[in-house]
Amino acid sequence: MSEPISNGKLEVVGVGPGDPELMTLKAARLIEAADVIAYPTNSDGQSFARDIAASHLSEQVEIGFYLPMRTERAPAQIAYEGACGKIAAELDAGRAVVLLCEGDPFFYGSAMYVFARLAETYPVSVTPGISSLTACAAAIGRPLASRSDVLSVIPATLDEDRLREAISKADSMAIIKVGRYFSKVCHILEELGRAQQAVVIESATLNAERISLLDGFAEDERPYFSTILVGPTTESFVRLPGAKLS
């Protein structure tokens, strides 16, 4: 491992699932103390991570980098390389840089790819954030798993055969990255007899939060920014106090 070439340091900071009040005290302190704030944006230049942290920004230099949300790896790889170049320039100048990441950086977070590129050359620390899974469990008032249940986290992006196999073997599960794959997930859950135990949580912790049973969607409806939680095969969904079920 090579030695750091400057006094600059990168802090990779998880800002939580969306509600600014769910940011940790440490995350807020690091953001406020930073010289430079970096974050991914969409094609319109908007950044959900920045929106979450906005009340803690003042005179920091900001680096936004467009991160394509596509299945091909090459566009994202190019984006990460470009972002790392800009961040490295700030670190070489001895500045403190914070990279914002929605949720938790090391739980399917895009920031992990920046970390991997820079951590061997510069000092890098990671501050965890509240993940979307724990936020979704809190929203419906039901544990992710209990007793000897095995919790499986399953990306809906898997091909149909792998997705079916993963779902068939799971006790409790959280199906993530649902978006355009909603119909595929619904079909498999119904086929395997797990649809009645599934709850869809959209925009968890935000004003637009919506909680629905899986069969509450029209055939052509596609809930984005959503996670599907499925309880153990031995239990059906039970609405607990505090769950806002539509």
In this structure, what CATH number is given to the domain that contains residue 85? 3.40.1010.10
Give domain status of residue 239, yes or no. Answer: no
Give domain status of residue 32, yes or no. Answer: yes
CATH number, domain of 163, equals 3.30.950.10
**pLDDT tens by residue, 111-124:** 999 999 999 999 99
Instruction: Give percent of the chain above pLDDT 90.
Output: 70
**pLDDT tens by residue, 21-52:** 999 999 999 999 999 999 999 888 899 999 99
CA-CA distance, 33 to 25, in Å (whole number)? 12
Number of helices (H) and strands (E) in the chain: give both, helices first.
7, 10
Q: Would you say the pTM of this structure is higher than 0.85?
A: yes
Specify the DSSP class assigned to residue 55. G
Q: Which domain holds residue 173?
A: 133-230
**pLDDT tens by residue, 183-206:** 999 999 999 999 988 999 999 999
Stretch 178-187: mean pLDDT, rounded?
92
The yes-or-no verdict on residue 233 having pLDDT over 90 is no
Specify the DSSP class assigned to residue 148. T
- Let me know whether 48 and 146 are in one domain: no
pLDDT tier at 146, thresholds 50, 70, 90: confident
The yes-or-no verdict on residue 95 having pLDDT over 90 is yes
- Let me know whether 79 and 165 are in one domain: no
Per DSSP, the residues of 112-140 read HHHHHHHTTTS-EEEE----HHHHHHHHH
Which comes out higher in pLDDT, residue 178 or 3? 178
CA-CA distance, 183 to 218, in Å (whole number)? 10
Q: 61 vs 24, 31, 87, 173, CA distance in Å?
A: 22, 11, 11, 40
SS3 32: helix
Give domain status of residue 242, yes or no. Answer: no
Number of domains in the chain: 2
- Let me know whether 16 and 122 are in one domain: yes
